[in-house]
């Protein structure tokens, strides 16, 4: 857009699309990714990644998947866009991401297909990793029972899958819809909002990646964005983007705190925050016009910027549509113990799965 060039920007710095070039490895995100990577490397089963809406969870897991070596892992992402998914819908999508070309029509048969693929990956020496984004939308207990069934599949005394559920803080309650599933939890990681120093580095990275200079946002402006944006990357992006246009309308080439406040009022962020003035909501000792505070230098070096991958699109994800199957095919009360040694013929797999899950499946 034309107004971006007035600020020395070659592209939109505050776009909320999951563009990996804009990924900023904050201390919060670095710690979360290292914990998840450890879980994957140690072949953990169930891992949770939680954070408020806009905390940067989706960007983090996309970066995580990019970091996994294809020779060692079979990794894929499933985004949940429907809140009325049932067990068959979920298992069919998981099966597709494991390479099943035509998922079966029943949960039992689909589970057997998943086992075949998981066993094949085990034979190849690769660890399957499935990330389920926005998992808090899976509000059917049968879905949680289906995930537990996947986690309990074994081959030669080894569990076959690492499952990372990504969602908002309410995800804990969703997982608990199946009473046995919380007992399978191996790791729980939380993304916290950015403090002012982290927000400063984050916004500087965004501006620099878009071809601009970090001084576009003065220290007081960054502090206003962090406070009114509650330290959440997506919310700060939206606020900074609107404040940038407010500065353009005022014929200025720097964004000021009053631009941020106007943008916040238009977006309704002031009402969400609570305090009646920006100064009231600033943390003690934060400068930029706040008595007793010291301004934060925005002109620090932003390391690690590269032009590599600027034009690489993110992987396209298929549109998820719900299949009209019943949601009550799984009973969560009776957790199974599934141990499958060797690779039996397909018919034997079906027989074994049916026998081992007779307490879990309702015909």
What percentage of the chain reaches a pLDDT higher than 70? 74
Q: For residue 246, what is the enclosing H or E element?
A: helix 233-249
Given a contact cutoff of 8 angstroms between Cβ atoms, the answer to whether 343 and 352 are in contact is no
Q: What is the pLDDT of residue 144?
A: 97
C-alpha count within 13 angstroms, C-beta hemisphere, residue 313: 3
Burial class (CB in 10 A: 0-12, 13-18, 19+), 139: middle
Report the distance separating Cα 223 and Cα 238, nearest Å: 15
Judged against a pLDDT cut of 50, whether residue 154 lies above it is answered with yes
Query: Can you name the residues that pair with 187 across neighbouring β-strands?
Result: 47
Angle, helix 219-228 to helix 196-209, in steps of 10 degrees = 110
Q: What is the pLDDT of residue 272?
A: 59
Q: Which residue would you say has higher pLDDT here, 281 or 14?
A: 14
Report the distance separating Cα 242 and Cα 259, nearest Å: 8
Q: pLDDT digits over 7-57, tens only? A: 889 999 999 988 899 999 999 999 999 999 999 999 999 999 999 999 999
Query: What CATH number was assigned to the domain covering residues 194-281?
Result: 1.10.8
Q: What is the mean pLDDT of residues 328-333?
A: 41
Angle, helix 233-249 to helix 257-267, in steps of 10 degrees = 110
Judged against a pLDDT cut of 60, whether residue 224 lies above it is answered with yes
Report the distance separating Cα 246 and Cα 240, nearest Å: 10
Distances 357 to 150, 176, 363 between C-alpha atoms, Å: 12, 20, 11
| In the block, residue with structure tokens 């597709």 | 96
Q: What is the mean pLDDT of residues 163-187?
A: 96
First to last CA, the chain: 58
Query: What CATH number was assigned to the domain covering residues 27-192+316-356?
Result: 3.40.50.300
Report the distance separating Cα 216 and Cα 255, nearest Å: 6
Domain range summary for the chain, segments of one domain joined by +: 27-192+316-356, 194-281
Judged against a pLDDT cut of 50, whether residue 139 lies above it is answered with yes
């Amino acid at each position: 857009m034309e107004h971006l060039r007035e600020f020395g920007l070659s592209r939109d710095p505050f776009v909320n699309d999951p563009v990996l070039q804009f990924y900023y490895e904050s201390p919060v995100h670095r710690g979360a990714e290292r914990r998840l990577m450890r879980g994957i490397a140690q072949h953990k089963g169930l891992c949770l990644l939680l954070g408020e809406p806009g905390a940067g969870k989706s960007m983090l897991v996309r970066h995580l998947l990019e970091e996994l070596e294809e020779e060692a892992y079979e990794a894929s992402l499933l985004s949940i866009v429907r809140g009325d998914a049932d067990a068959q819908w979920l298992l069919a999508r998981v099966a597709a991401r494991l390479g099943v070309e035509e998922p079966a029509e029943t949960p039992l048969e689909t589970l057997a297909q998943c086992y075949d693929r998981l066993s094949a990956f085990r034979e190849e020496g690769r660890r399957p990793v499935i990330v389920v984004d926005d998992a808090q939308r899976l509000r059917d207990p049968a879905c949680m029972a289906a995930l537990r069934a996947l986690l309990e599949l074994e081959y030669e005394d080894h569990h076959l899958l690492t499952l990372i559920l990504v969602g908002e803080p309410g995800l804990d309650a969703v997982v608990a819809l199946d009473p046995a599933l919380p007992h399978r939890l191996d790791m729980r990681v939380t993304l916290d909002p950015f403090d002012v120093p982290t927000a400063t580095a984050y916004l500087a990275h965004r501006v620099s990646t878009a071809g601009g200079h970090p001084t576009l946002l003065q220290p007081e402006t960054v502090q206003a964005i962090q406070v009114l944006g509650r330290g959440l990357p997506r919310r700060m992006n939206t606020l900074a983007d609107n404040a940038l246009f407010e500065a353009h309308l005022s014929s200025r080439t720097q964004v000021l705190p009053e631009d941020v406040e106007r943008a916040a009022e238009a977006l309704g962020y002031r009402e969400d925050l609570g305090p009646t003035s920006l100064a009231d909501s600033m943390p003690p000792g934060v400068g930029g016009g706040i008595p007793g505070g010291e301004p934060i230098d925005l002109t620090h070096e932003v390391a690690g910027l590269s032009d590599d991958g600027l034009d690489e699109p993110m992987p396209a994800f298929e549109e998820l549509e719900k299949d009209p199957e019943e949601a009550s095919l799984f009973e969560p009360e009776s957790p199974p113990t599934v141990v499958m040694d060797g690779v039996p013929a397909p018919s034997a797999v079906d027989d074994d799965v049916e026998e081992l899950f007779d307490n879990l499946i309702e015909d």
